[in-house]
Amino acid sequence: MIAEDKQAAAKFNKKVCILGDFSVGKTSLVRRFIEGIFSEKYLSTIGVKVDRKAITVPYKGETAHLTMIVWDLAGSEKFTQARANYLRGAAGAILVCDLTRSATLASLSGYITDLRQLSPTAKLLLAANKFDLVEGQQIAFPQVEAAANRFNLPFFLTSAKTGAAVELMFQRLGQMLLE
Amino acid sequence: MITPVDKELEAWVHAHVVKKQNIAYALVDEQLRILASNEALPQWAVGSSNNIIEQSLLELFPELIGVEDILRQLARDPDLPFVLPQIQRSLPDGATRYFNLEIEPLPQFGHVLLVIITDVTTQTHLEQQLQQQQHELSLQDGTKLSGPPMRPDI
C-alpha cells in the first residue's frame, strides 16, 4: 500500500478480492467495472486474474487517486495454502452471491471467515448479483438485508449485465478503503 | 565420454532446460528491485520493456501489491517460499496464458530473493475445461458443487 503525499492529490494502491461461489458473476462484475462490457457466455475462472483500475475518491476533504488492484478469484470452498496467499494483503473484498441460487448466499460466511483470518482489517461489502433476472430469483430482498446485517456489511443489488449499481459499489468500496 | 567435471556442458544443459521449459527468473533485493533476470521474464511482466533491471517487482507484477511486507520479511528472515499459482495473463495478441509465481529467499547471498516463474498454460487450460464442464453440469442439475476440480492426468 503506497501513499504519496505530494502537492498533488494523494495516491493509493489497494488490493481488492472478489469472492463467492462459481458462476455468481464475479468475473462479469469485474469486466463491467474495468472494461464496461458484459458477455452472456459463462467461462469458469481458474486460478486468479488481476486487473487494475484507477478511480478518484474523497479523502480528507480533498480528492485522492485510488488504484484498485482487483483480484478475480476462482470460486472455491477449499481453503488451501495457495488460496491463503491469494487473500493475503487484501485491503478489501466484495462478496458476491447469485440471487437465483440461494446456496450462494449461505456460502458467504465461509469466505468471510477465511478472509478475516488473513486480512482482519479488510473492508467488506456484499453484492447480490443478477438482479436483472426477475424470474427464477430464490433470494428475496429481506434475506439479502438480513445476511448483510448479520455480518455488518453494506450491500448492493447488482447486475453485471445491465451495469446496475456496479460502479456505485466499487466507488463505495473505494471510499471504505480510505476511511 | 562425459566426465563429471565437465562444468561447461552442465551449465549449458541447465540453461537449455530453463529455456526449453520457458522458465523465467529474477533476483530481487530487499527493496524488491530487480537485480538480474533471464530473457524470459519480460514476457510475463506487465507493460515492461526488455530493460527491467532496477525496476520495482511490484510494477512488473501487480499481483504482489499488498504483500510487500511479507516479501521483505522473507528476504530478512528466510522462511518457506511464497507461492501464487495459476496467475492469468492476457497477452497483446489476445491469447491467455497462466504462470506460477514462486518467491524464495537466498540467505547464502544476503537479503536476496529468487523469483521463479513457471509456464503452466497447457495444464491450466485443460483444468479449466474440466472445471467448466463440471460447473455447467452442476448448474443444469441445480445442485451445488463443492471442492476443487479433478486434475487431468497429463
CATH for A114? 3.40.50.300
Amino acid letter, residue B33:
R
Tally C-beta pairs within 8 A across A and B: 79
Tell me the residue length of chain A.
179
- Are the C-beta atoms of A75 and A24 separated by less than 8 Å? yes
User: Would you tell me how many other CB atoms lie within 10 Å of the CB of residue B11?
Assistant: 10
Domain assignment of residue A3, yes or no: no
The CA-based angle B71-A73-A111, given to 5 degrees, is 90
- Are the C-beta atoms of A138 and A101 separated by less than 8 Å? yes
Instruction: Say what the pLDDT of residue B56 is.
Output: 95
Q: Which residue of A has its CA nearest to B123?
A: A46
Q: Which of B80, B87, B41 shows the shortest CA–CA distance to B64?
A: B87
A119: containing domain: 11-178
Please indicate whether, in this complex, the C-beta atoms of B65 and A89 are within 8 angstroms of each other.
Answer: yes
d(CA A54, CA A64): 10
Q: Which of B75, B77, B76, B143 shows the shortest CA–CA distance to B114?
A: B75
pLDDT tens, residue by residue, B45-87? 987 677 899 999 999 999 999 999 999 999 999 999 999 999 9
For an interface test with B, give the residue of A14, A17, A30, A50 to mutate (most B CBs within 10 A): A50
Domain count, chain A: 1
Q: Which residue of A has its CA nearest to B81?
A: A85
- Are the C-beta atoms of A166 and A32 separated by less than 8 Å? yes
1.10.10.60, 1.10.3660.10, 3.30.450.20, 2.70.98.40: which CATH number matches B23-119?
3.30.450.20
pLDDT tens, residue by residue, A3-62? 544 457 899 999 999 999 999 999 999 999 999 999 998 899 999 999 999 999 999 999
Amino acid letter, residue B49:
S
Please indicate whether, in this complex, the C-beta atoms of B83 and A50 are within 8 angstroms of each other.
Answer: no
Q: Between A64 and A9, name the one with better pLDDT.
A: A64
Please indicate whether, in this complex, the C-beta atoms of B83 and A81 are within 8 angstroms of each other.
Answer: yes
Q: Which residue of B has its CA nearest to A91?
A: B66
Instruction: Say what the pLDDT of residue A109 is.
Output: 95
d(CA A48, CA B125): 13
In the numeric block, the cell 448483510 is attached to: A148
- Which segments of chain A does DSSP mark as H helices, in order? 26-34, 81-87, 103-106, 108-118, 141-151, 166-178
Percentage of chain B modeled with pLDDT above 70: 87
